[in-house]
Amino acid sequence: MTGLSTSPADELEPVDVVGELELATEIIRELRLGYIERRDKINGDVGSYRLGDRSDRELESAGWQDEFERWDDVQEESDEDSSANLSAGKTERVGGLQTWRLVGCVFLPFASGYYLSYLFRTINTLIAGPLSREFHLDAANLGLLTSVYLLFFGGVQIPIGMLLDRFGPRRVQGVLLIVAAAGAALFGASGGFVTLLIARAMIGIGVAAALMAGLKAIVMWFPRERIALVNGYMVMMGALGALSATAPAEWLLKYAGWRGLFELLAVAALATAVLIVVAVPEKARAVVAGTAPVTLRMIYTDRRFWRIAPLSSVCIGSAWALQGLWAAPWLSDVEGLDRESLIRELFIIGLGLCVGAVFLGTLATRLRQRGIGADKLFAIVAVLFVGAEIVLITRLPVPSLLPWFVVSLVGAATVLSYAMIAEYFPIELAARANGSLNLLHFAWGFAVQFGIGLILQQWPAEGGHYPVIAYQTAFGVNAAVQLVASGWFVTPWVWSQIGHVKKAAGRRGATNDGLVKANARELVATVFVVRWVPAVVNDSSVERSLAGY
């Protein structure tokens, strides 16, 4: 320091060492805060800027956080109250009608039609024995007779969707149920296999709009946040039809025979058609001016549709096919159950469909309120389904009723896939979108019912029973397809996670660069404080130089 020269003219007042230290400390603090802010921006972490973040003092002092939390609480309470009101039947007004009127004049008439639809779909598993004995049907013919319902049911889904969007559910469902009544009457009077096929096809066409009309009415009359829950109740009513096709139908079968049973079903279908036409109100369909025409191309070119469609079709279609026909032969041929035990287990399996519809609908509604989409719940259901089939195929030491209960529960997963479709497409496209998905459901259901029959035919029947290996092979092929569809469903999610990892790695690299620069500046300031401030205390010439500087 002796090299520094001074003159009287350069002499200045002594430097305030404490003030300089405080200034240096403030500089270091500002550098740290600036680094933290830049790090958050580089990482894309908006946590310190996100509304409602407890750590953001600025927002808390402005009172924004509490306002947004109160708004979220009000929204959640509103959704919960709406669901509770619907469950309790409270007289809240929705779309100009009180809730009880919506239930009585909209929900119940269409639910009655869907009840009959499911009863027709699953009744063949009960009358398979009498039909096979009277008309000498083998497994392939029985599978064809049962699956022709699904073939024609699915084949008219898109035209019916167009009719529903144009004329409304009331008119379309009322007319088609009359066709179903005629088909049921013809089935009961049939004298040959061909006549049975024609009658079964008429029934399939006649009840093809049962679910679609109900879903369309739900979308038209009920608020969006209730759709999954009301869909669950709708599917539950259909499940009651599957339940009725067990012990109650067995009781009628003993007294009236299968022909008399179908005559009763014809009368019920006609009565339901009259109920829908008389009780259901009409609702004006809004026409949005200036919008592009709604076409099926909008559905079949939508990536979201093709993400859910394969898995939904192979899972739900398989569940319908297995419960609708092949559950009874499996329980009889593989498990060796007698008639009484068979009916009892079919009844419990039908309960699984009822419970699953309400459970999945309610759970999807609750999860939606917490920001969890129905697609995640559907993926879990698909995994459970494949697991249940593996248990059946490998014949693990588990009561067969448990995996079959899961199979029937998966049949109610339409409440999830239809809720997802309702989120993807506008109301004016709802029926066609659901119809497009339903087409795939029933097409796969037809393939499974008929395909299992063809596979079973490859093994000789002994005493009217097919060997276990035949069922294991048929069910195994079906489960393999479901695994492929599951992989397709999760692929977008996997790629998104890989993308997030790459972005996070890039952000960490950018953060490290920012950290180095900030630390360098902080180091310079620290060196200044540590090395030069003590010199200021001991050397007056340095004091004067620094003060002049």
- The predicted-structure confidence for 318-344, as pLDDT tens digits, reads as follows 998 998 888 989 999 999 888 888 888
How far apart are alpha carbons 445 and 500 in whole angstroms? 38
Which tokens in the block code for residue 283? 């609702």
| 105: Cα within 13 Å, side-chain hemisphere | 13
Helices 157-167 and 210-221, packing angle to 10 deg: 40
* Greater pLDDT, 94 or 127: 127
Window from 29-33, 140-144, 226-230, 238-242 with minimum mean pLDDT: 29-33
Task: Identify whether the C-beta of residue 234 lies closer than 8 Å to the C-beta of residue 107.
Answer: yes
Which residues fall within 8 angstroms of residue 324, CB to CB, at 6 or more apart? Answer: 121, 122, 124, 125, 146, 150, 445, 449
pLDDT at residue 239 greater than cutoff 90: no
Residue 299: the pLDDT is 83
Burial of 58 (0-12, 13-18, 19+ CB in 10 A): exposed
Which one of 95-109, 374-388, 409-423, 518-532 scores highest in mean pLDDT?
A: 374-388
Which residue(s) pair with 465 in the sheet? 462
Q: Are 170 and 282 in contact (CB under 8 A)?
A: yes
How many angstroms separate the CA atoms of 453 and 457, rounded? 6
Fold entry, domain 102-280+311-500: Growth Hormone; Chain: A; (1.20.1250)
pLDDT of residue 59: 34
Higher-scoring residue by pLDDT: 370, 41: 370
The mean pLDDT of 384-408, rounded to a whole number, is: 93
pLDDT, one tens digit per residue, over 433-488 is: 888 888 899 889 989 989 999 999 899 888 778 999 999 999 999 999 999 999 99
Residue 17 has pLDDT above 60, yes or no: no
161 confidence band (pLDDT: 50, 70, 90): confident
- How large a percentage of the chain has pLDDT more than 90? 28
Distances (CA, A) of 287 to 254, 291, 441: 53, 9, 30
Is it the case that residue 42 has pLDDT exceeding 60?
no
Lowest-pLDDT choice from 97-101, 247-251, 303-307, 427-431:
97-101
What are the pLDDT digits (tens) for 419-429?
A: 888 788 877 77
Mean pLDDT of 276-296: 67
For residue 225, the one-letter residue type is E
Q: What is the pLDDT of residues 482-517, one digit of tens each?
A: 999 999 988 888 887 887 777 777 766 665 555 555
Indicate the range of 105-109, 112-116, 279-283 predicted with least confidence.
279-283
pLDDT digits (tens, 9 = 90+) for 337-350: 888 888 888 888 88
> What integer pLDDT is reported at residue 386 of this predicted model?
94
Q: What is the mean pLDDT of the chain?
A: 77
The structural domains of the chain, with segments of one domain joined by +, span 102-280+311-500
- C-alpha distances (whole Å) from 204 to each of 148, 171, 282 are 8, 18, 26
What pLDDT is attached to residue 388? 95
Tell me if residue 97 falls in helix, strand or coil.
Answer: strand
**Residue 386 tokens, joined:** 């494949």
pLDDT at position 22 is: 61
**Angle, CA 508 vertex, CA 506 and CA 510 arms, to 5°:** 70
